[in-house]
Chain A
């Protein structure tokens, strides 16, 4: 389990020795990994280890205290704001709660990125919006406000908005949290279809094991104890033969040998 070579050219996203802090409180340090184009990459780890914080640093909401985030070799934080804005336009982001703009209808939510960044006519935008909403199973909900639909539906509408501009990188913060198993499964399938059909690179923050094993091509594990990344690779392989007990435990819901004996003793 070695730290991946972050200098390789085929990486879409490279995170290099990233250090994240809130004031004096250290969240994670020396986090490094790379995401290849067209793969589903999972950032995993226990609750409170800084997964969502890492995502916020990657999408430019928080500035890292040290280290770099590169998109196709371009350093996100080195450039000026216009460059960052150009990079951001390539992202689609699904926030933990959906983060739909509550004063707008679903259609307006999905339409806003389109009307800001494309020269499309209102009729064309409406057509695209309906298509995107249908893609996430919300056909006919165009005129609804976020407060009028369920949490799962809000999440899917958030996904439709994230996909509005056909981004080449999609970020997901806990996509299956709060979804019923069937919806979570449908979401997983949608992610894989996006990857296979459009070649979208997808970065997911999650601790849902079913989802991790179903979709992840590659992953990084953030450890809450040592406050850094300790394992990289496909989750199946990590569950089998990762050198860190914490990772094996995590990926098997605590079902490794070491933990089993401890349980019996208690």
Chain B
């Protein structure tokens, strides 16, 4: 760094040790502060400090500031930012600033940065950090979120009414696609999850029940838990993560790319056209998936029951049949129907509510899964209460 300035004896010098940048302050009589910049200004060295200048401006009776360059070897935006800071400091103190003696295009860059006035009204109000404010804001957010869900449900009800009246418009192929995607394409994951859940239930039961010599009741435990609860809930959760998320991503992308606007302007309700086939498809397919998951779950339980406990498959099977009644399956079937509809509603709702950017599509997808699972658990709790009340 041969081109570094030596600091004049009368002024204050600020120099970054080891860096190529030099800023020299020099009070030239008559209340003029001269700032001399030189050396190499590179963004790799970070931004230049202006504290020294601020102190100089505050301490002395300065009325004007002159910036000049001397042995300025190279300068990038860091010099322009430095000049902009000096400019701001001068603006605050209403000092005249002269940057005409700065080489390297610094003055031109500063002029360019200041040429277009800040667009009025672009300042965002920073969210307050006060606890009361935050509670208020999140309450309002929650209310508008709930309002959005109610609105969507209302629109869906109207759409269902149109379906009953035979006036809802959607493509049959969309419905078939949903059936295919939720049904055959989900069998693999449903098989794995259901079999493992059946086996886990059997293991837990076997360990406990064997101690009382009641090992045979593992079949009851697995059968009841699977048919009443686990098959429906687990398929619901799997489908929420798989199909519900796919719905949100698909519809959200359509929203982001104005495809939904194109439907509306054509006079086609996006609820009819996009949501209805998905809700119907999933509500139809979920009970079938449930029956399949029941079968696989019971088989998984039987596998563990017959290997861990000394039960013959026939014994286990008879005990299962003895424990289960048709009503257990009816309960499970109705649960799965409701779960299917809710997962589809959550997915489609998040898609329709999606913003118009790629990031918003991602958020909609995540939110669809969370909402779907939440709906499943809440409705399962309601089922539990109702079944208790009805004594089923």
Are B108 and A102 in touch, CB under 8 angstroms? Answer: no
Per-residue CB contact flags for chain A residues 152-192 toward chain B (1 = under 8 Å, else 0) read 00000000010000000000000000000000000000000
- State the CA gap A116–B250 with chains docked (Å): 23
A-B residue pair count with CB separations less than 8 angstroms: 52
Asked if residues B267 and A88 are in contact (CB atoms below 8 Å), the reply is: yes
Q: Is the interface of A mostly helix, strand, loop or mixed?
A: loop
Nearest A residue to B115, CB-CB: A266
With A85-B267, A101-B254 already in contact, the answer to whether A266 and B262 are too (CB < 8 A) is no
Q: Is B268 an interface residue (CB 8 A)?
A: yes
Q: Which of A107-132 contact B (CB under 8 A)?
A: 112-113, 116-117
Interface residues of B in 17-42 (CB under 8 A from A): none
**Contact of A116 (CB < 8 Å), options: B169, B258, B264:** B169
Report the minimal beta-carbon distance from A128 to chain B, rounded to whole angstroms: 16
B121 within 8 Å of A (CB atoms): yes
Chain B residue nearest to A60 in the complex (CB):
B265
Q: Can you offer 5 A-B residue contacts whose CB atoms are under 8 A?
A: A61-B261, A88-B266, A99-B258, A99-B259, A100-B259
Contact A112-B266, Cβ < 8 Å, known A25-B121, A266-B108: yes
Q: Is A91 an interface residue (CB 8 A)?
A: yes
Given contacts A116-B266, A116-B268, 9 further A-B contacts (CB under 8 A): A60-B265, A88-B266, A96-B258, A102-B257, A103-B174, A266-B108, A266-B111, A266-B112, A266-B115
Chain A residue at smallest Cβ distance from B112: A266
Q: How distant is the Cα of A224 from the Cα of B264 in the complex, in angstroms? A: 28
> Nearest chain A CB to B200's CB is how many angstroms away?
39
CA distance A117 to B267 in the complex (A): 10
B266, A101: Cβ atoms closer than 8 Å: no
Given contacts A25-B121, A101-B254, contact A93 B265 (CB under 8 A): yes
Q: In angstroms, how far is the closest chain A Cβ from the Cβ of B168?
A: 12
Asked whether any CB of chain B lies closer than 8 Å to the CB of A256, the reply is no
B248-273 residues at the A interface, CB under 8 angstroms: 250, 253-254, 257-259, 261-268
A235-266 CB contact bits vs B (8 Å, 1 = yes)?
A: 00000000000000000000000000000001
Does the CB pair B259–A61 fall under 8 Å? Answer: no
Q: How far is the CA of A139 from the CA of B218 in the complex (A)?
A: 67
Q: Which of B253, B257, B265 contacts A61 (CB 8 A)?
A: B265
Name the B residues within 8 Å of A56 (CB-CB): 261
Query: Which residues of B are interface residues toward A (Cβ below 8 A)?
Result: 108, 111-112, 115, 119, 121, 169, 174, 250, 253-254, 257-259, 261-268
Closest 9 CB pairs of A and B: A99-B258, A99-B262, A95-B258, A85-B267, A266-B111, A93-B265, A99-B259, A88-B267, A101-B259
Contacts of A103 in B (CB 8 A): 174, 250
Q: How far is the CB of B356 from chain A (nearest CB, A)?
A: 10
- Chain A's interface size range is 20 to 34
A95→B259 CA distance, assembly (Å): 9
Bound-state CA distance A139–B254 (Å) is: 26
Contact A99 B266 (CB under 8 A): no
Q: Given contacts A102-B253, A266-B111, is CB(A95)–CB(B267) below 8 Å?
A: no
Q: Which of A61, A89, A100 contacts B267 (CB 8 A)?
A: A89
Q: Is there an interface contact between A95 and B262, defined as CB atoms closer than 8 Å?
A: yes
Is A59 an interface residue, CB under 8 A from the partner?
A: yes
A95 B261 Cβ-Cβ under 8 A: yes
Taken together as a complex, chains A and B put the C-alpha atoms of A228 and B254 apart, in Å, by: 31
Residue A53 interfacial (CB < 8 Å) = no
Query: Which chain A residue lies CB-closest to B174?
Result: A103
The answer to whether A61 touches B264, judged by C-beta atoms less than 8 angstroms apart, is yes
Q: Could you say which residues of chain A place their CB within 8 Å of the CB of B259?
A: 99-102
User: Which residues of chain A have C-beta atoms less than 8 A from B121's C-beta?
Assistant: 25
| Distance of A160 from chain B, by nearest CB (Å) | 13
**A63 interface contact, C-beta 8 A:** no
B267 closest partner in A (C-beta): A85
A6 contacts the other chain (CB 8 A): no
Complex Cα spacing A59 to B266, Å = 10
In angstroms, Cα B253 to Cα A70, docked, is: 32
Q: Looking at the complex, which one of B169, B253, B258, B265 makes contact with A91 (CB distance below 8 Å)?
A: B265
**A99: B residues at CB distance < 8 A:** 257-259, 261-262
Q: Cα distance A60–B119 when bound, in Å?
A: 29
- A61 to B264 Cα, complex, angstroms: 8
| Residues on the A chain within 8 Å of B174, using CB | 103
Contacts of A93 in B (CB 8 A): 262, 265
A89 CB contacts on chain B under 8 angstroms: 267
Which residue of chain B lies nearest to A89 when distances are taken between CB atoms in the complex? B267
Q: Give the residue among B119, B169, B261, B262 with the most A Cβ atoms within 10 A.
A: B262
A88 and B112 contacting across the interface, CB-CB below 8 Å? no
CA of A64 to CA of B257, assembled, Å: 23
For A161, what are the chain B residues with a Cβ–Cβ distance below 8 Å? 262
CB distance from B112 to the nearest CB of A (A): 7
Q: Within the assembled complex, what's the spacing in Å between the Cα atoms of A242 and B266? A: 38
Q: How far is the CB of B333 from chain A (nearest CB, A)?
A: 31
- In the complex, which residue of chain A has the Cβ closest to the Cβ of B169? A116
* A224–B120 CA distance with the chains assembled, in angstroms: 10
How far apart sit A102 and B174, CA to CA, in the bound complex (Å)?
13
Query: Once bound together, how far apart are the Cα atoms of A25 and B124, in whole Å?
Result: 11
Q: Which residues of A contact B108 (CB under 8 A)?
A: 266
Q: A59, B258: Cβ atoms under 8 Å?
A: no
- Asked whether A113 and B257 contact (CB < 8 A) given A266-B108, A266-B115, the answer is no
**A204–chain B nearest beta-carbon distance, Å:** 16
List the B side residues contacting A266 at CB < 8 Å: 108, 111-112, 115
Say how far A235's CB is from chain B's closest CB, in angstroms. 24
Chain B contacts for A60, CB-based, 8 A: 264-265
* Chain A residues whose C-beta falls within 8 Å of the C-beta of B258 in the assembled complex: 95-97, 99
| A-side contacts of B261, CB under 8 Å | 56, 61, 95, 99
Q: Write the nearest CB–CB distance from B137 to chain A, whole angstroms.
A: 15
Interface centre among A89, A91, A101, A116 (most CB of B within 10 A): A101
CB distance from A174 to the nearest CB of B (A): 12
